[in-house]
Structure 1
């Protein structure tokens, strides 16, 4: 069953305020222990870009359409 618009908005807010900072801290901690400074700069750059973008793909369905108006709102589209 698909999540409602309101629940997706709540999850998106929680992810942005709590999840992303936690992910950044864990990724930073793990990558700092790997000794990436011994690798070529281009390889190190690709690794950091990968971990910077990797969180987006599993969470894309939650963020999809969040900036739009609520499609379940009965007053959606009226000019009252």
Structure 2
């Protein structure tokens, strides 16, 4: 079952406002858990984790910034 445009907009807002800060805390905790590696290793881990978070949510964010395709266009 596909999500409607409004549902995808709401879920994207929830993910960005609640999920992202939680993911950032988890990423920083992970890096601190491995005893603060060298700056290069730390940078690689942050870049990898920074790109990895969006993969499961790609279908939710697709087209959210566009106009609602389901809205009626009553311009005459």
Taking structure 1 as the reference length, the TM-score comes to: 0.83
Tell me the residue number matched to 2:56: 58
**Cα RMSD over matched residues?**
1.5
Q: 1:8 and 1:74 mapped to 2: Cα distance?
A: 18
Shift >6 Å, 4+ stretches: none
Of 9-18 and 41-50, more deviation after overlay is shown by 41-50
Deviations 1:5-56 (A, max 9, x none): 000000000111110001001111121111242x5x4333222210111101
Tell me the residue number matched to 1:21: 21
Long gaps (5+) in structure 2: none
Taking structure 2 as the reference length, the TM-score comes to: 0.87
Long gaps (5+) in structure 1: none
